[in-house]
Amino acid sequence: MIQIYSALYNDLGQIVIICPYPLNHNLYLLSNNIKIIFNRYLCSHGSSTVFVLDNQTYIKKITLQLDNLDVEFIINLHKCESCKELLLMSTIIKNEDEYVIQWIEHHTILGIDKFIIYDNSGNKNEKPSLHLLGKGKNSNLHALLSNYVDSGRVIILDWPFEEKFQQTHQNHSIWAFKSAKYIGFFDIDEYINPQINEFYIPKILDMYIMKNKINNKDIGGLRLANRFFYNPFNDDERGYNFLSIYHTGLRFIYGRGKSFVIPSNVKCYSVHEITNGQKLIDVDYHLVYFNHYFFLNKFKRGRSFFYFTFKNDKSIQRYVKILQSKGILLE
């Protein structure tokens, strides 16, 4: 038996099986006494295996077999919503209800069509060091975001897994929403911050591709530089107040950057990198980067004076003013 995190059916007629570790065995679909072998795609970081069958008809339950073992197992096949040509952002969160609405509203004004939110609150593991754990203890995303779900702006998917939960959710998004135009993989404490007059993300990405004469069939996505922000004075972080904390580092870091991938050109992704597919292109940080509020919803991380550089970056404030003008800032 293999460990399966998801079995999905997308709008391209593909059956996709997501596993959280490298698997060198063959997987078969059993249908009408016929064995059909899946294509297998491995993440080069060893975080995922993706099995794919093209040109299939949707059925609710499918029967699988691993290699030539006699054991057969039946699983439910989840039919995914079509997001053809949409600009998506995908993230996974655990007990971060306090900050998720701000993240959605900020990126909505930048032109994101839909948000895919994976709920990891069902993962009860509390082993990581305290500075990485969220402050919150309880989560009810389905209630909190019900209006967003009803309006079609948000899809919530339960993802209660412990091992490789981030990489596998990213690969799930790539295959579940294969016909999307772009999928951005950014965390709840990461806020995209355009530096030019044009602040619609889809226009910025398309403009960058055209200006640099890039064939989008030859790339797997566009990566934005990371700029860390810190809170050494323990300033108020509630609501949108954290966006007025300007203490930042001097560097723009692509190695810790995050990307908008072109899902049709990517097989596997792992946190910061494409691990099976076309290459990533770095976008000039003079055009756009993202503010990484390293301290947000964490006990200790990003609060030491060790990080403090006396460098301030207030450029995100123009987007705060847009949010204020729409009357959607939280108290």
Domains and CATH numbers, the chain: 6-79 (2.60.40), 87-325 (3.90.550)
> How confident is the prediction along the chain (331 residues), in pLDDT tens digits per residue?
689 999 999 999 999 999 999 998 899 999 988 999 999 999 999 999 999 999 999 999 999 999 867 778 999 999 999 999 999 999 999 988 999 999 999 999 999 999 999 999 876 555 443 334 444 556 789 999 999 999 999 999 999 999 999 999 999 999 999 999 999 999 999 999 999 999 999 999 999 999 999 999 999 999 999 999 999 888 999 889 999 999 998 889 999 999 999 999 999 999 999 999 999 999 999 999 999 999 998 877 888 766 666 689 999 999 988 888 877 655 5
CB 17 within 8 A of CB 53: no
Residue 300 zone, left/alpha/beta (φ > 0; ψ -120 to 50; rest): alpha
C-alpha span between 208 and 210 (Å, rounded):
6
CB 28 within 8 A of CB 45: no
Task: Report the interhelical angle of 97-109 vs 317-325 (nearest 10°).
Answer: 90
CA–CA dist 58, 108 (Å, integer) = 32
Cα atoms found within 13 Å of the Cα of residue 297, Cβ hemisphere only? 21
Other CB atoms within 10 Å distance of the CB of residue 186: 20
Query: The whole model's pTM is what?
Result: 0.93
Output the pLDDT for position 229. 93
Identify whether the C-beta of residue 192 lies closer than 8 Å to the C-beta of residue 107: yes
Which residues make Cβ contacts (< 8 Å) with residue 199, sequence separation at least 6?
Answer: 109, 110, 111, 319
State how far the Cα of 46 lies from the Cα of 74, in Å rounded to an integer: 26
